[in-house]
Amino acid sequence: MNPLLESITSPLPLFDKILPEHVLPALDDVLQKQRESLQTLTAQEKPNWQTLIEPLEEMDEELSRVWGPVTHLNAVCDSEDLRKVYQEGVQKTSAWFTELAQNEALYAGLKYVESHQSDSLNNEQKELLRQNIRDFKLSGAELTGDAKKRFKEVRLRLSELATSFEQHVLDATRAFTLTISNEGDLAGLPDSARESAAQRAKEVDKEGWLFTLDMPSYLPMMQYSEKAELREKMYRAYCTRATSGNLDNSPVIDELLALRQEIAQLLSFEHYGDYSIATKMADNGAEVTTFLRELAAKSRNMAKQEVQELRNFAKEHLGIDDLQAWDIPFVSEKLRIHTYAISQEELKPYFPEANVVAGMFTLVEKMYGIQIREGNAKLWHKHAKYFEIFDTANKKIAAFYVDPYARAHKRGGAWMDECLVRWQKPDGDLQLPVAYLVCNFGAPIGDKPALWTHDEVMTLFHEFGHGLHHMLTEVKTRGVSGINGVPWDAVELPSQFMENFCWEREVLDLFAKHYETGATIPEDMFQRMTAAKNFQSGMQMLRQIEFSLFDFLLHSECQSNGEQSVQGLLDQVRQEISVITPPSFNKFQNSFSHIFAGGYGAGYYSYKWAEVLSADAYAAFEEEGISSLSTAARFRKEILSIGGSKDIMDGFIAFRGRKPNVDALLKHSGITS
């Protein structure tokens, strides 16, 4: 039997059996059955929750069980054979979702349930119904004739473009390698970076040291290499990915933006920014741009001072009179060490993988009264692991996979995704949530364990925060369970919240122990580390605001007038926001996967808004005690458990006792305006 079809009823995906040739037959099978089921559902004269919504939830689950593992494998085990069927599968699923969302009879059925049964539904069910009807409108359900047909065509093409964009970035990243044969060219690089590069070269039967554009390889080169020409070569390769030949994303971006604008206008929105806001916490686009510009204004003076300090240090201590873009990470790291006598490399021995993971588990076990144990499951790679979560009564409540290391044929970055969603099935059984946690950290080298930077530790905590949001939900209605139904500009709240614990001494002592001696971080090192916490935080704040404002204006003002180019807008935003202007050849937009392939189009500002929410939420722990179990219980109840079943602002107010403000974020960032 096809293992993807088996996955519909199996407890977990059968990753040891799934092959590319299984994808399209399984997908065709399930889509055919769904189309038949839809005909039956929409033939009802008087549908209700049990005869319409519950079957739709079951259909959602079945398709997710088949297509979800394929999407996951495409991200973590990319291959030519899988890529080919995945692209075709994207077209099939996109066509189905658009077809489903524009089904007039189904839309009428949902509105019938709303008008005839709403009073008998619980709050979760009411919220799911409200969101479904809203999403139907946003998916063109009320369009007719040629407009409806065109909407469907555009949605399908947008899916294809997003897939192409991401694959171009992946291929361009993979296409570049730098092999060093002269050991003198490794000057400045720490032993860990050298050992990783040597291991990388050995894996592909090359002599010397191999560097790639994957972050565990790229970043050490940029921060530590004393060879400016090598830093420049790496920098140019990184910021010009997907800018030429058949991997050029420029035409993809242009077509994608034009089609997003067309989608918005077909639904009578002025621009795609307004269309995006319709499902978010923000009330309108002006609220978004005002928020970003006010935050930029409060950060600018500090950022200017940081840049001047960087230039002065480069000139006085390193003899660099004309600071170039590829010098900034190098000079910044030198300045950090000079000022605080601390570096990421110095800290790495205190963050061996096993300790970090165990310590993070201990923290959340204590906070939320849970237990985490390694379990058994079929895995897609030898480095992946599977864990299960139990409550105080030793009852299993959730599970998750972890895939921590960077490798070839794996998408860059870090993310959490859902494998299974918590919901009460129509037969009464409760399905438990299962998450994927994927990172791209350094792997073990020889006999050494994987040693991670403090930044990587924070990334792990970040993704686990997403995972807890998905896994600690108490919602039983599938469509608003876990991260489902949560506004995009609030979904980063639990993840960014978790990062804060990585700066607490009592938390670090749980896991920050030297891999050879077992010693905790010495107090003087901890003090230097925390003193350096807000190093260049003004510059970092403006950098993220630059990305956020560029994204939102690109999908609003730029699309409304249709006169400004993508590069022209980016230049304008940089002139307004940035304190350091990148070189003209920097085409970072061509690899900006978040907004062009990752669901953050006109929503990248969500990271900044969620930082406001998370900093303010964490301030409650600072006020009431970092280890306060009552505060943790309240956070779990009002934020983590509710999923998308209630207004997240109401949940925040219930937790905090008031609406959020930016004061805590500015304080945590060391920014005084």
336 Cβ contact list (under 8 Å, min separation 6) = 342, 343, 532, 535
Number of Cβ within a 10 Å radius of residue 409: 15
Question: How far is the C-alpha of 608 from the C-alpha of 242, rounded, in Å?
Answer: 27
User: Average pLDDT of 49-53?
Assistant: 97
What is the per-residue pLDDT across 593-606, written as a single tens digit (0 to 9) for each? Answer: 999 998 899 999 99
Answer for the pair 661, 649: CB distance below 8 angstroms, yes or no: no
Contacts of 407 (CB under 8 A, 6+ apart): 381, 383, 443
- What are the start-end ranges of the H helices in 521-605? 523-531, 537-554, 557-561, 566-577, 593-596
User: pTM score, two decimals?
Assistant: 0.88
**Cβ within 8 Å of residue 646, ≥6 positions away:** 123, 127
Q: What is the pLDDT of residues 294-347, one digit of tens each?
A: 999 999 999 999 999 999 999 999 999 999 999 999 999 999 999 999 988 899
The domain segmentation of the chain, as residue ranges, is 3-142, 176-241, 268-344+537-595, 349-533
Q: Is the pLDDT of residue 562 over 90?
A: no
Q: Residues 41, 33: contact at Cβ < 8 Å?
A: no
**pLDDT recorded at residue 9:** 94
Query: What's at 117, amino acid-wise?
Result: Q
Predicted confidence (pLDDT) at residue 193 exceeds the cutoff of 80:
yes
Catalytic sites, residue numbers: 463
Q: Beta strands of 75-218 (E only): which ranges?
A: 177-180, 209-212
Q: What average pLDDT score do residues 61-69 get? A: 98
Task: Identify the CATH class of 3-142.
Answer: mainly alpha
How large a percentage of the chain has pLDDT more than 70?
Answer: 99
Helices (H), 349-453: 353-368
**For 279-291, what is the mean pLDDT?**
93
Tens-digit pLDDT profile for residues 376-429:
999 999 999 999 999 999 999 999 999 999 998 899 899 999 999 999 999 999
Q: How many CB atoms lie within 10 A of CB 607?
A: 18
Dig out the tokens for 624 from the structure.
């009431």
Q: Is residue 386 within 8 Å of 376, Cβ to Cβ? A: yes
As a whole number of angstroms, the distance between CA 97 and CA 157 comes to 13
Q: Can you tell me the mean pLDDT for 193-199?
A: 95
> What pLDDT, on the 0 to 100 scale, is given for residue 558?
76
User: According to the model, what pLDDT value does residue 98 have?
Assistant: 87
Q: What pLDDT score was predicted for residue 563?
A: 67
- Mean pLDDT of the region 274-289: 94
Alpha helices in 240-269 (DSSP H): 250-266
Q: Is 121 left (phi over 0), alpha (psi -120 to 50) or beta?
A: beta
Q: Which fold has domain 349-533?
A: Neurolysin; domain 3 (1.10.1370)
Domains 3-142 and 349-533 share a fold: no
Pairwise CA distance, residues 383 & 358, whole Å: 17
For residue 285, is pLDDT > 60?
yes
- Short-list 165, 124, 158, 166, CA closest to 140: 158
Write down the pLDDT at residue 357.
97
User: What does the block give as tokens for 23?
Assistant: 């994808």
Does residue 560 register a pLDDT over 60? no
Environment class of residue 83 by beta-carbon count within 10 Å: exposed (0-12), middle (13-18) or buried (19+)? middle
Q: Are 48 and 117 in contact (CB under 8 A)?
A: yes
Cα–Cα distance, 634 to 657 (Å, whole number): 11
Average pLDDT over residues 455-480: 97
Distance (Å, whole) CA 102 – CA 149: 9
